[in-house]
Structures are given as C-alpha cells and as structure tokens.
Structure 1
Amino acid sequence: MADVKETCRSIIAAALNEFIKEKDPSAAAVDAASIVVQNAPNPEMGDLGAPMFAFAKALRMAPPQIAAGVVSKITDKSLGEFLAVGPYVNVKLNKSGAAAPILTAIKAQGDNYGSLNSDGKKPLEGRRVMIEFSSPNTNKPLHLGHVRNDALGESVSRILKAAGAEVYKVDLINNRGVHICKSMLAYKLFHEAKGDTPESLGMKGDHFVGQCYVEFDKYLKGEKDKPETAHPEANQMAEDMLIKWEAGDKEVHALWEKMNGWTFDGMMATYKRTGISFDKYYFESETYLKGKDEILKGLDKGVFFRAPDGSVRIDVTDVVGKGKDGNNQEKVLLRKDGTSVYITQDIGTAISR
C-alpha cells in the first residue's frame, strides 16, 4: 500500500502543479512530499484521498475548487478513477492495477515481504527480545484466558521474529504454593486410598488435577444451605502442607512431583495441539528460593522490615501513595510462617533471568 500511496501522491502532485502553472506561470512548484495521502473514511468516496486545504492560501482558492481543478488535469488512469469529493482529491483504485506492484514485490521478497525497511534491512535486526506468556498454575488445566494469551504471545513473537529480532519465548510455570497444595490435599482425601490416576479414570492429567482443586473447594465450603458439611479447617490444612513442602518433607514432595507431572504433561499436550512453543521454562519451585534469599538479605540490610505479625514486608507508599484509609501501603514478601508468596518467586525469577 505504501507504493500505491506514493504513486497516488506523484500523480496528484503533477496535476496540482499543472493546475497552478495554468493559474500563475511564475508560481513555485509544489513538492510532492507536502501532499498527504490517507485512507478515505468512506469506501464509497474512494480508497485514498488527499486534502487540498494546505494550498488554499497560496492559490487564494477554496479547497473544493482546487480539488476539482486537480482532477481535471489528471490523465493517468492506471491507478484508478480520481474524484473531487469536497476539498479532497480521492481515487477509487483499479484493484488489479494497484495489486500488480504488490504482487511483484511479494514475488521478489518472498517470506521477507512486509518485514524490510526501504534500505532492505529488517527493522529489528540485531535486537534481542524476551517474551513471557501463558504462565499457568499446575493445579488446573489451561483455560480460555491462557489460550487467548498464548495466541497473543505466539503472534507477537512471530511478528518480532519476522521483523528481524532474536526472540526468546519463556513460560513461567507456577508449580508451587498453597493453591497447589489444595489440589494435593483433595487427592489425599478422595483419591489416594483408591489409587486413582488420570489413566485409571480415563482423564487427561491436568483435567484430573483440576478436578481435585474443585473437590477441595467443595470440601471447604460444604453443601449449599448445609453449613455443617463445611470444613473451614481445610485452608489451614493446605497451609500446613505448604510449610511441610518448603521444609522438604519427602512424602509431600513425592505427591507434589507426581501431580505436577500429570498437569505438566497435560499442558504440554495442549501446547502442542495449539501450536505453542517455548525456548525456556522457568519453574517457580526453583526460583522462589532465590527470591527468599534476596528478601532475607534485604531484611538484614533494612531494605525490608518484619511486621508485628511476623511477616516480612516492604513499604511501597513512596511509589503508590497512601491507601484510602490514609495509612502507608505495605507489600507482604514472606508470610508470617516464613512461606513465600507470588512476589517472592517473582524476585527470584527476575534474578534468574
């Protein structure tokens, strides 16, 4: 389209200069670069258009008169039909004629078409770009939101790569935390004694683990209008399991590895089916320790502080301002029981990169 616009600009410039010379032989010629060619707002009025407002003062004429005069001087119809539409010189493109140079360029440039600058180089050549997307939890299968982000991430990655960038696609797998322990707890409560596996139940691995997560929620809340069936202690049970996991409890780790394996295999099958791939997988079970170490170093240096409840925090008031209650805003970096939160592993992941 850029070539078509340039051709349109040249035709209009030649006609405008002919029209100007007819009115005033001593007048200076108009530089084609001063003519703005843009997409017409209404296809019925044409495909492209150039406003004549900029020349009204010099010619002492109304823009619609200039447009009509310019169109009367255009004899080259190869690009299409030129029309005077108010103060605009519009053109209804001859589709086959307009497409010819584009097809020629596509044939000449092949896969590089659309990704080269006028100097023949790719615009992002020499640039390195890291793109993180998907970033699922291993307590359930990928959902529609993940698929949307996967499509966006993969598309942007391919566009940047086509533009010459060296693209590094990464996926941060959130495979640890209290939400993971909730699925694990449900498995122990409802499936472990029966020896249930995805294979024995005829289910995809991530679907089975996701079912366990739903079962935990039902166990926690109980049946509707039957509060006696609820188990409010379930949340604490999951938190206790997380403490054991971070302490390296062998039994908890064995179950964690098994269920994470089920989910990860299921996710890999989904990625393969949807055409999504990554150059590197980061696992928060590996990065959170680096984050934890960094936070404890910051605590020793006075960058962070220990709150009265025992949690480690940072005051972010200088960055985000005071809260609605007028108090300083704080961000928890480690829970009061010493276990990590999302930002713990985010810090570790940033260091790993």
Structure 2
Amino acid sequence: MADSSIPQRLVAETVNAVKSLYQADIPDTQISLQETRKEFEGQFTIVIFPVTRFSKKSPEQTGQEIGELLQQQIAEVVSYNVIKGFLNIVLSDDYWINLLHESISAPDFGVFEPTGKRIMVEYSSPNTNKPLHLGHIRNNLLGFSVAEIWKAYGYDVVKANLINDRGIHICKSMLAWQKFGHGETPETAGLKGDHLVGKYYVAFDKAYKVEIDALKAQGQTEEEAKKNAPLIKEAQHMLQQWEAGDDAVIQLWKTMNEWVYAGFGVTYDSLGVSFDKFYYESDTYLLGKDIIQEGLDKGVFFKKEDNSVWIDLTTDGLDEKLVLRGDGTSVYITQDLGTAQLKYDEFGMEESIYVVGNEQDYHFKVLFLILKKLGKAWADGLFHLSYGMVDLPSGKMKSREGTVVDADDLMAEMIETAQARTEELGKTEGFSEEEKQELYRTIGMGALKYFLLKVDPKKRLLFDPNESVDFQGHTGPFIQYTHARIKSVLRKAGEVNSDQSVDTITEYERDLIQALSNYPQTVEAAAKDFSPAQIANYVYELAKLYNKFYHELSILKVEEEHIKAFRLKLSAATASVIARCMGLMGITVPESM
C-alpha cells in the first residue's frame, strides 16, 4: 500500500524539527498544513508564522531551516521553496505514481471500516393534507444524502420518516372532501392521491375565507370571524370526534391517508429516496406524558395553578416553556420528547439527526436542552440539521393558496428541460427511444439534486431550473458528462496491458492524483459537518481537473503504451470516484451521453 499519510508525516516531522532546531515543544494542532496554491511550486504548504516565536528568526529563514530538515527526514520530499512565511513542499513523482497504483486504484480506496455505531437520520416528515413541494425536495435530498454519507463513513444508518397524519389541518381536507367531493377518488379523478387530498385542503381554505368575509361584513373582527366561521368549528368538532375514536371519522381518515401514502410513494420513488422506519404522529401524539411525570418527580418541570406543566429555561437564555396543558393534553414538545425516547429505545443509536427547516431552530434548541436536563445520556447525540428556504426566480412558495411549487410538477419540468437541452446539443446519437428517456430522467434529476445539494444546507437558496441543466457550469450535468466522457475513452481503449509504469508525470496528472487522494477525507468531513455540499463541491473540482487533463494531454493517441496505460488507469480511478461522490447525493451517472 502506498503511503497516503504524507500530510500526517509532514506535520509530525515539522513538530520534530521545531523541537530539534529551537528546543521547543509545539502541539501538532498548531501546525497549519494546506494544499499549495496553484501559482506556486509544490503540493503542500506549511504556514511558518506560528513557529517564529520559537525560532526568533525571520519567517523566510525559519522556513528554510525546517524545509532542509524535512527534505532530510522524508524521502518523498524532493525540494522546497519559501515564499514569505509559507514553506512549499515538492513531493517526488514516484510518490504520486505509487499512490495511484497502490492506493487510489485499490478496490478498498476510500472505504471506511464499519464502526459498529448507529445513526438515525429523520427526514421528509410530510403532512398528509397536501402533496410534497419544492421545500420537501430539499429536505428529502438532504436527509437521504446525509444518510448515504454516514453509511459510507462506516455507520449503521436508520432512515426514518415521522409522518404528521393527525390534527386540524388533516380534518380540513377531510371535511372539504365530505362537503364538496361527491365521492371522488384518485381513480375517478385521475389524480395522484396526495394531489386529490391537497385539492380539498385548498378548497377548505377558499370556502373558509368566504365565511370569514361574510362574518366581517356583519361587524365581526378578523379574529372573531376566524374563530366563529362554521367551517372551522366543524373541523374542530371532527378533530374531537377523531380523538374520541368515532368509527366513521376514523374510517374516512384512514381512507384519505391511504390515498396520500400511495401518492407520496410515487414521489419518493421518482426522487430516489427511501426509508427504513416510518413513525406516525397518530401513534406518537400521546407519548411523552410519562416523561413529563419523570420531569416533575426530578424537579425539572413545575406546575402552575391551572395544572399546566412548564420548564423554566431563562437561566439558559431562553424562556419558560409549556410542556403539558392544564387539561392534560399534549403540546408538540410533549410528543417530541416521547418520540425521541421511543426512537432511542427501539434503535439505541449514538446519534440522531433531525432534518427540519430553520423555522424550527428554537423548538429543537428547547427539545434537546430539556432532554439533557432530564439526564438522558443519549441527548448529547441529537443534532438539528437546519436548512434554509428554497425560492424560485418567480418568488416564494405559499402552500394554502394552491400556488405551491409541486414536487411532481417540478421533477417533470426538470426532465423536459433536460430533454430540450440534450437534443439541442445533439448528445443522443445512437440512443434508442427508451435509452433517450432514461438519459433525460438521469440528467434532469441529476441537475435538480446537484443544484439543491451544492449549497450549504444552512443557506437559503434560489433554484433556477434552467441554470441547473447547463452542461458547462457548476452543475450536475457537467459532472455527469465528464463521467460519460471518461467511460467513452475507456471503451475506445479496450484492453490495455502494460507491465511497465511511468517514471515521470505532468502537472495535470499530479493535480488529478492529489485531488483523488482527498476523497476519503472529504467523505469524513462531509459526514462530521452533515454537509453534502462538501461532496458536491469536491466532485465538481475533480471533474474540472479531469477535463483540463483530458484537453492538455493525449490519452488514446499517445505512442508509448506505458503512458497510455497510466493515463487510462488515472481516468478509470477518476470515473470511479466521480460515480461514488454522485451516488452519495443520490445522483446517477450515465455511461454515455
């Protein structure tokens, strides 16, 4: 196995150099090692400024002294140069050549050993009163990708989905269907079940607004009208019937939810996401009351005169938080406490990730803090992966007015856009009709996923469907096309046998090998930061480097067989890492385009 730990050795030998040259102990955490900037010679750079307080010499002289020792101690260091306070290290061609042959091209390159640890990633969490929209797409893609990255990092991953299948919003759709549906079903309407139920959620809202306006015309205030409108009173009564177990209401609820689940299933399949465990709020909404009692017994919670239960978080910079109503009914935090305990009891995971939009930041801060105060040892492993809103160029999404950016419509539009762009560029020669349709889907979905995942999750993003399908930009199709290009080169080459290796390499080959060698640490960093964006940006830079290599050097037409074999091996390794990176984002890469 080639020694891929040169960065660690450079740091360790720098620590030794400081000790032997200046009789000072410096922790390795104070040694800053970076990749050398492209305008300078070298592959790794050590920042010398922190060492000058021990050397009592100029940065340049200190760098020269350390560089000389490193060259003596590490055989792979062939030269060095010092630019101001930066020591640039040049490694031998042999090092990079061996790294490709013995490490990067090995089947287990970048494969992490199983850790024996488990992580749960909870994402999607839809309401069963409407279809999934653009915001849900970002949620699903983030959750799925984070799960895949942690799986690659050696963890046992449980992908969970907590479905919000109860509450007043569900009753609104049910009531509207009863009043205006005339027995309509997904089959008779020719609609996916989630779209049909969403249609009645919008219908409720329109009828409710008419009632509010009528009551306001009679002299009621906006707030009074909202409370007194007959429709909302009927919906609240239906919720009470549901909670009381009324057979007819429960049956209607089950029927309409089944329609929605069937519709969600189609959308999840199209998105390429999946789940290992489903939780339903209708099963979990009564959980948590035992935890409330436990908290009262421990003195973590307190009761007010109306019997409501609270926790005082003012010393933690928050406020007082209601955890159980005076009539004994739950609030959201109650059931979230109970569900967190249920998840841990069932799976015993070391870490539990909640992929939820940033409007819930405060809720999760409170939830995690309460669980820590209750002495739950597993609470330290809880993490809220907070993400920003997604906007389209036309403006922000609004769900209740029926102007939501529907997930199914958006995916269909992406595939159509990919088809138009691909045909325009003439990239489908020799494809059967079936192969073309598969290619359009691969490119369209790759464009959508890559564009949504390349941005740091915490940032709000503007999604431009047209920009995302650009074959030349910072996009999924550009990376997919690079993969297809490599596969085409490998197919044309056929079998190439060469027992010889090269002795020297160009800067283009070296840069590509160095980038490939960073794959394992990129996976590790992306896992620890819960950030698919790190994978996305890494693979984009890798694709750019390959294209530079491809344009600057001959591969198939080079006369020397051993050079051709080396460049083909480098190409194959690049294709493999590109495919793995894209797979971590749930993106398929085509064999040809």
| TM-score after normalising by structure 2 | 0.46
With 51-60 and 167-176 compared, the bigger mean Cα shift is at 51-60
Change beyond 3 A, Cα 1:12–1:212: same
Counterpart AA for 2:161: D
With 143-152 and 235-244 compared, the bigger mean Cα shift is at 143-152
1:67-78 maps to which residues of 2 (within 5 A)? 67-68=63-64
Q: Where does residue 205 of structure 1 map in the other structure?
A: 193
1:67-106 maps to which residues of 2 (within 5 A)? 67-68=63-64, 82-91=80-89, 98=96, 100-102=98-100, 104-106=102-104
- Structure 1 gap segments, 5+ residues each: 21-26, 117-121
With 232-241 and 252-261 compared, the bigger mean Cα shift is at 232-241
Matched, 1:36 2:31: yes
1:240-319 maps to which residues of 2 (within 5 A)? 240-291=237-288, 308=306, 313-316=308-311, 318-319=312-313
SS in 2 for 1:139: coil
1:6-85 maps to which residues of 2 (within 5 A)? 6=8, 36=31, 38-40=33-35, 42-45=37-40, 47-53=43-49, 56=52, 61-68=57-64, 82-85=80-83
How far did 1:307 drift? 6.5
How far did 1:162 drift? 2.4
Counterpart AA for 2:7: K
How far did 1:205 drift? 1.1
How far did 1:158 drift? 2.0
SS in 2 for 1:89: strand
| Distance in 1 separating the partners of 2:258 and 2:333 | 24
Aligned counterpart for 1:172 among listed residues 130, 146, 162: 162
Counterpart AA for 1:108: A
Alignment deviations for residues 225-257 of structure 1 (CA, whole Å, 9 cap, x no partner): 875598733222211100011111122112111
| Distance in 2 separating the partners of 1:130 and 1:10 | 36
How far did 1:94 drift? 7.9
The question of whether the paired residues in 2 share the 8 Å contact of 1:184 and 1:256 is answered with yes
SS in 2 for 1:267: helix
Aligned counterpart for 1:139 among listed residues 105, 125, 129: 129
Change beyond 3 A, Cα 1:10–1:95: farther
RMSD in angstroms over aligned alpha carbons? Answer: 4.6
Greater relative contact order structure (CA < 8 Å, 6+ sep): 2
How far did 1:206 drift? 0.9
Counterpart AA for 2:246: D
Q: Where does residue 209 of structure 2 map in the other structure?
A: 221
The question of whether the paired residues in 2 share the 8 Å contact of 1:183 and 1:216 is answered with yes
| Distance in 2 separating the partners of 1:41 and 1:268 | 48
| Distance in 1 separating the partners of 2:23 and 2:117 | 45
Alignment deviations for residues 244-300 of structure 1 (CA, whole Å, 9 cap, x no partner): 111111221121111101111111112222221211111111222444687699999
| Distance in 2 separating the partners of 1:30 and 1:64 | 21
| Distance in 2 separating the partners of 1:33 and 1:323 | 36
| Distance in 1 separating the partners of 2:86 and 2:67 | 10
Alignment deviations for residues 165-219 of structure 1 (CA, whole Å, 9 cap, x no partner): 222222111111111101111111221x2x2122222221112212211221222
Change beyond 3 A, Cα 1:179–1:321: farther
Q: Where does residue 389 of structure 2 map in the other structure?
A: none
Question: What number of residue pairs does the alignment pair up?
Answer: 327
Percent identity reads 39
Aligned counterpart for 1:3 among listed residues 1, 5, 19: 5
| Distance in 2 separating the partners of 1:300 and 1:57 | 56
The structure having more radius of gyration, on CA atoms, is 1
Alignment deviations for residues 286-344 of structure 1 (CA, whole Å, 9 cap, x no partner): 22244468769999999775875xxx63122x2246999xxx835163586x7654345
The question of whether the paired residues in 2 share the 8 Å contact of 1:206 and 1:264 is answered with yes
| Distance in 1 separating the partners of 2:64 and 2:269 | 59
How far did 1:9 drift? 5.6
With 70-79 and 206-215 compared, the bigger mean Cα shift is at 70-79
Q: Where does residue 24 of structure 1 map in the other structure?
A: none
Change beyond 3 A, Cα 1:158–1:210: same
| Distance in 2 separating the partners of 1:335 and 1:171 | 30
